[in-house]
Each structure stands twice: as C-alpha cells, then as structure tokens.
Structure 1
Amino acid sequence: MEQKNHFYKTMLAIAIPVAIQNLITSSLNMLDTLMISSLGDITLAGVGLANQVFFFYILICFGINTGSSVLVSQYWGRKDTANVQRVTGFAIALCTGFGLLFTMIALLFPNFIMGLLTRDPEVIASGSRYLQVVSLSYIMTSVSFAFGTSLRSTGAPNRPLYASIVGFFTNAIFNYLLIFGIGFLPRLGVVGAALGTVIARFVEFMMILWYTFRYKGPINASFKQFFNFDQTFIQQYIEIVSPVILNETFWSLGQVLYNIAYAMTGTESTAAVQIVASIQNILFVLVRGLANSCTIMIGSSVGRGETEEAYDLGLRFIKIVIILGIIIGTSVVLGRDILLMAFPSLSPTVRHISSQLFIVIGLFYVLKAFNSIIVVGILRGGGDTRFSMFMETFAVWLVGVPLAFIGAKFLGLPILWVMSMVLMDEVVKAIVGFMRFRSQKWIHVIK
C-alpha cells in the first residue's frame, strides 16, 4: 500500500506541474486562435499554416530535450551532477543552432514557405506577415524549453510552470492590445498576434533564466560546466538522443504533410483543423504530463538498475492512460458542440466541419493517449530510442502520409474521411508499441 501511494505521489508531483504548464501553453494557442478567428477564415487559415513552421521546429527541439531528459533522468538517478549539466548544455547548443536556422528561413523566405503549404494567395499573404514576426521568438522558446526540461527531470517542475503562467498572461494581454488596437495602440491584426507572442516568449525566457541561476540546484552551473564536452560524452549523447531528434523530425514533417493534404480539401476545412487542433492540445495536457512523469520515473529506475520496477511502472501508466483516454474521448464526442461554443465568430460551414472532426478525434483519443505513453514515456524512458524512431517513422510515412494524399488528392474525399484515414497510423503504432513493451527489450541501462 505504501509503495502504491509513493507511486501516485511521485507521478502526480511531476505530472501535475507539467500538465498545468501544457494547459497554459495550449490555452494560449486556443486564445490566439479565438482572437484571430474574429479576423476571418482566411487569416485563421494563414496563421494556422504559418505555425506549422514553428510546429516543425519545436518538435525537433522536443526531440532534443526528450532525448536529453532520458540521459538527465538516469544521471540524476545516480546523482551524477556533472553529466546532468553537460547534457543540458548540449541541448541548449543544439536548440540554439536549429533556432538560428529556422529564424533565418522564416525571415528571408516567408512567401516561399507559405507557398509550400497552400496555393491560396490571400492565405499566403496573411501567413507570411505573421511568420516573419513570430520567428523572432524561436530561439528564446527553445532555450527556455531546454532549461525547463532539465529542471523537471531533476525535481524542480514548478519553476518552468511559474514562467509559463506569467508568459500566458503576458501573451493574452499583448495579443488583445495589439490585434484589436486599444487607445493609442494601432490595430495591427495578424502582425499584432505575432508581436504578442514574441513579447510573451521573451518574458518567459527571462524568468526561466532567473529561476535557474537564482536558486541552487544541479542546473545552476557555469558556462564551462554546461559546455565541457569530450568525445566520449558526445558519442553517448548522439547514440541516445539522435534517434529521438530524427524521430521528431520525421514525425513533424509528416504532420506538416498531413496539413498540406488537409488544405487540399478547402480553406474552410483548413480553418476547422486549426480550431480542432487548438482544443485537442488542451485535451492532451494531462496525457503529456503523465508521459513526462513516465519518462522521468522509468529513466530513474533504469538508471538505478531496477529493471523489474521499470516494467511495472510502465504497466501502471498504461492502465491509467487507457481509462483516462476512454473517459476524455467519450466526453469529446458527446460534448463537441459545447466545446465549439468557445468560438462564436466561426462561419456556419467551419463550425459544421469542426463538429464532425471532433467525432473522429474523440474516437481515436484513447489510441493517441496510449501511444504517447508507449513512445514518449516507456520506450524513451527506457533508452529504447532507436526502436521508437523506426516504429513512428514507419507508421507516419508508410501509413499516414500515403493515406492522407490518397484521400485528399486522388479520391477527393472530404476532410472528415481524410483525417480518419490518417489516424490509421495510430492503430499501427499501438499494435507494434505494445508488442515491444511486452518483450521488455526496451530497457537499456546507460553506462
């Protein structure tokens, strides 16, 4: 009984701050979508597609930091502070490098990037204006992400949470002021939305730095401690983390292609996808919190050499997420019209399409939640990053992407059926992922 209570206490201590932080971020995205939806379907579609660039970039950073959290959790499990600091430093360096690349591309070639995502000239124009400005937030966001991941993995999940709370209110206030124009401030529309995001990311970035270096802890380190890499460390980092980075890169590219396929079904469908995605992100905050908790707890167990405990932890997380997935998925299907009440400015067509898409999202919710725990929580937590990369890449590129374009381009199906076909990749991942979990071949102790 005491062991069971310890499990739930540890799980919730990590999962709740992460879930709240994700809720804040997702609520912010929904708030952006809500405010921008009042500017019309074209602007909403443009911003949604422009954010695919950020989505692609941040998922690469997610791969870097999730892979790093595997190492940090195992090193922290045996109190190896020096390597915790070096892993954090390497993650910061990689995120900054990718951030510079994506920022320059977005600043210099916004029309070209938008032209790859849609052929609608009005959507391209709107999205390009947003993309150029919002790209200034990319590096700050990723460095905050790197520090926040290491803080959570070493037992300080509340500090990045506080920064996110302040960032949320900053973004909400400046978005409202700059999108609609209040007093002496001009009405900037889509550019105002981008500026609000940049200001909020800067505030969050400064708070993360303050929390990191104001208080004593394993992440409060000098420049030399962060960036003291040797060949052995770099080889080990690449071996564990590179499959996760490749995994997230290929997966996020697949998601971008899904959105290109969705855009082929019409501007209204593209707008509906953005509405549904903004709410779906909120619906997944608890699952993401559980997945992060699972990664850290399993990583710590494996780092201590307690492999049987790691398997038992994985089984417990699977049971929890299946029950949670059924409850939330059913609620989405039954309460979809209530969810759409948050967007009063939607056109009747976009509202109708969104309602249909929520049925699909609700039916597949439990599978997506299950796969999140398997891939992000269990396989990565156990150091099985290479297998999870091959599994996800296979499911997205050999199942999801072909079905997306078969449905949208060749069969000319409506968005409802195209999205349903795409989600067959979740079925494949669930089957293969559970077989891998049962085999226990995913447990790898890092020396």
Structure 2
Amino acid sequence: MAVQCYRYICRPLLGQPLSKTGSSSADTEHSVRNPTELPLPGSRNVLSLAWPLAINAIMLNGIVIVDTFLVSSLGEGALASMGLATAIISLLLGTLFALSTATQILVAQGQGANDPVRLKSAFWCGLVLNSVASMLCLMLTWTIGDEIISYFAHTPQIAADAISYLHVFTAVIIGEMLSQSVSCYFNGTGRTKLPFFSHLVTIPVNIGLSVVLIYGLYGFPELGLTGAAIGSAAAAIVRMLFLMYCILQRDRAIIFVAGWSQTTLARSSIRHLILALPIAATFFSQSVATVLCTLLYARMSVSQFAAITLIMPWIQIFGQFMTSWAQATGIFVGQLLGKKTSASSLDEFLSRVWRITFALAALVSLLHLVTSLSFGWIYGDLLEDTQDALWSFLPVLLILSFPKSSNAICGHTLRAGGDTVYVMNIFVFSQWAVRVPLTILFILYLDLSAAWVFSLFLVEELVKFPLFHRRIYSGKWRTTY
C-alpha cells in the first residue's frame, strides 16, 4: 500500500515521472523530450485558464445559490420545494454539461492541431447534439416530472411550489443549451474569460428581478419561489444573447469555414456522438444517481432534507475551484496531445499541476470550515435541528476535497487522452454499486441521520481513488488519442 501511495501521490509532488519504470515500446519511443518542442504550459498558464472557468462555473451554480439564499427566509417548506425541483433540474443540466464537456475536449484537440475545420465541426456537432438531447429531456420532464415531485413531496403545497418552479426554470435549460456550446468552444480555444464576462452581465438581472418578484416589490405580484425561477430564466436568455454576439463577432470566419471533419455535418455529428457518448453517459449516470439520491433525501425529516439542500450548492461552488483547475489541465493536455507532445513532457506538465492541486484542496477545506462557522449568520432563521445537521457535515467536508481533487485531475486527463470508456466505468461503478445502494440502505432501512448519509460522498471518492490513479500511472491514455 505504501508503494502505491508513493506512485500515485508522492511522485507528482516530488516532480518525478508518473509512468512505470518498465514502459512499453510505444511509450519508450516518445519518452525523451524533443528539444524542438514548444515550452510546456506552466502553473500560471493553467491558472490563467482555470480561474475564469471556476468563476464561470460558480456563477452558473450561483443561479441555484442565489435562489436558495433569497427564498431561505420563506421557511423550510420553500427550501424543500426547491430541493425537489433542483433534483430534476440537475438531470437536465447534467445532460447539457456532459455533451458540452465532450465538445470542449474536441475543440481543444482541434486548437492544438491548428485545424479550423475541426474547430468548426466540434462546435456545430456539439450544438446539434446538445439541442437534441435537451429537447428530449425537456419533453420527458414535462411528461412525468410533476408526478415524480408529487410522489416525493411531504405536503401538497411543497409539491405545488416545486412544480411551479420547475416549469419556469425550463427556460434556463433552453438558454443554456446554446450558451454551453459557445462557452465550451471558447474554453477549448483558451479564451475562458468570455464565458466569465457573460455571467457578469447577467448576475444583476438574476438578483434584481428575483428579489422584486419573490417579495412583490414596486407593485409587482408576490410570486415567492416562482419569482426566483423567472429571474433565473431572464438572466439565462440575456447570457445566451451575449455569447451569440461574441462568437459571431470574433470567430465568424472559423465557424462558417468550408468543409467538415467527416465530409458532411451528419457524418461529423455521428463521429462526435461516438466520441462523446462515454462522457455523456458518465455525466448522465451521475445526474440520474444525484436525482435518485435527492429524492431519497426527501424521505428524511424536513429539517435534515433542508440541511442537505442548503449544503449541496456550497459544495458545488467550492468544488469548482478544484474542478476548474482539473478542467483547465484537461484542456492543455488535449492541446498538447494535438501537438503530438512527447510522453516525458506530458508527465512533466502533470507533475507541476499536481503539486498545486493539493494546495487547492487545502484551500477548499478551509472555505468549508469558514462557511460552517458562518451558517448561523447566513441562515439565521433556520430551525435548531437544521443547524445541527449542517454542523454534522463538517468532518466529511474537511477531508472530502483531497481525494476529490486528485480524482478530478485523473478524470479530465484521461478524457483528454480519449480514455473515456474507462472513466465512465469508474463513475458508473462507484455510483450504482456504492453510493446509491448505500443511500437506500441508510435512509429506507437503517433510518440513519443526515451525517451518515452525507458521509457517502467521501466513501464514493475513496472507492474511485485507486482506480483512477492506477490508470494514470499506466500511461495508456497517452496513446489512445
């Protein structure tokens, strides 16, 4: 076990190569760094790409954070309604993010190869797949979403509020359908600040309109939870229009260049789907598992369910610091693979990145500690049982960021190298063989507290840890592209 820890963690921290001592002939052929290669991206390069990604993702998740904060004064019932609605919404957004992540990787590879046709094909094929998948998910939501919420809601009023919020929030999905495609195109080409600016434009719209409609200010009707959804929907439409303007002004020549990577749009889309399907399946599985677990959380007491509803957006926001760092790493790995960079140079780059990863994990743990100490001030109107449940999550929050951040680096690196099926298998196994069954056991059969249920997030990351790091250490991902 000590040898494995050295291989998976200590080597990157010490700047030593990640690959095995006895590498295959394919690895040996490219094991010596070519002196004519361009300089490798440094930590500052990754940081300059990562921080707009982090802020962009925080602001995107901030849609739910803003709504949660604004409606918290309406009581635990409103929070429970939002928790039910966001369980369905996470499935819709998860599908969008899945296909968009695949597009981002393909754009990064096209950028590294300096191929405008591949850039154009990745963008349009990603948009086509995003549109089809989003429409199918929305149709499914409008067909059975109300019944699902009504079944799991504690009271008819909670169900009615959740359904109203969900129906209005579908406009956000329509706006993000295009916004995510454009954002991932800019991210893959290294221009992560443009999606960041799009949120700076829309945040005032979201907060201002939501406050007015939630509380009925300035003569407007008092819509409560529905008002928060309307503000989010308006902000999503503004963001979509802003990003459409940016791409038409800056990259019109590229996205309308003649030709396709596979002769036609249809053939290019099919190839894009084949490459993206394992990534999409990974995120879709994760989204379905999250929805199912959230619906199971609703079977706990209202106070415990409200506590989990409150903590989850904070986990997503703070986790974006690590996720965006890993995402930026994946973008650079994709570009380096597109440039046919040697294996030793790739190892050198990842070793630099990993040293920063653990510092970020420590920062996230500190943020969770500060936030937990501030919950009494942030959510001063909560019941004592809800505040006690929030406090019980702290031990897990202080540990969770370390395995989660390292797993994120592995996942994005493997995807950038085309090893998407292996990543999918790890996620599917950890979700459906570990977290979901144990959640059912803890809630429906053992009736354990929210603290025990919440600890399953850490258990899932610990299960994934050796599987991810063994694959990175093997070096196979360098030859799958």
1:329 corresponds in structure 2 to 365
Distance 2:334 2:141 in 1: 36
Residues 1:218 and 1:371: Cα distance change in structure 2 (over 3 Å):
farther
The two structures, once aligned, show a CA RMSD in angstroms of 2.3
- Name the counterpart of 1:255: 290
Task: Report the TM-score, using the length of structure 2 for normalisation.
Answer: 0.86
2:395 aligns to what?
359
- 1:164 and 2:220 are equivalent in the alignment: no
SS at match of 1:435: helix
Deviates more, 1:225-234 or 1:69-78: 225-234
2:382 pairs with 1:346: yes
Contact 1:107 1:135 in 2 (8 A): no
The residue aligned with 2:418 is 383
- Greater alpha carbon shift after TM alignment, 413-422 vs 106-115: 106-115
Partner SS for 2:223 = coil
Bigger drift between 226-235 and 286-295 goes to 226-235
- The answer to whether the Cα contact below 8 Å between 2:54 and 2:320 also exists between their aligned partners in 1 is yes
Identity of aligned residues (%): 22
Larger gyration radius, structure 1 or structure 2 = 2
- Write the letter of the residue equivalent to 1:152: N
Q: Name which of structure 1's ranges 109-118 and 66-75 shifts more when overlaid on structure 2.
A: 109-118
2:169 aligned residue: 134
- 1:246 Cα deviation from its structure 2 partner: 0.6
Kept in 1, the 8 Å contact 2:375–2:387? The answer is no
Give, in angstroms, the shift of residue 196 of structure 1. Answer: 0.6
Contact 1:70 1:296 in 2 (8 A): yes
2:228 maps to 1:176: no
Q: 1:78 maps to which residue?
A: 113
Provide the C-alpha distance between the structure 2 equivalents of 1:125 and 1:202, rounded to a whole number of angstroms: 25
Give structure 1 stretches of 5+ with no counterpart. Answer: none
Q: Is the 8 A contact 2:41 2:332 kept in 1?
A: no
1:256-281 superposed Cα distances (whole Å, 9 cap, x missing partner): 12212222222211111111012112
> Which residue of 2 is the match for residue 416 of structure 1?
451
Matched, 1:434 2:469: yes
1:117 Cα deviation from its structure 2 partner: 4.3
Distance in 2 between residues matched to 1:186 and 1:232, nearest whole Å: 50
Question: Is 1:243 the counterpart of 2:275 in the alignment?
Answer: no
**Pick aligned residue for 2:405 from 362, 369, 372:** 369
Matched position secondary structure for 1:344? coil
Q: How does 1:48-127 map to 2 (within 5 A)?
A: 48-115=83-150, 117-127=152-162
Instruction: Give the SS at the match of 1:183.
Output: helix
Residue 352 and residue 219 in structure 1: after superposition, are their counterparts in 2 closer, same or farther (change >3 A)? farther
Greater relative CO (CA pairs within 8 A, separation 6+): 2
CA positional deviation for 1:6 = 4.5
Structure 1's 119 and 224: CA in aligned 2 closer, same or farther, altered over 3 A? farther
Query: Against the structure 1 CA distance between its residues 71 and 444, is the aligned structure 2 distance closer, same or farther, given a 3 Å change threshold?
Result: farther
1:355 maps to a residue whose letter is: W
Number of matched pairs? 443
How far off is 1:220 after superposition? 4.2
**CA spacing shift, 1:236–1:97, aligned 2, 3 Å:** closer
Matched, 1:36 2:71: yes
**Partner secondary structure for residue 442 of structure 1:** helix
Amino acid at match of 2:436: V
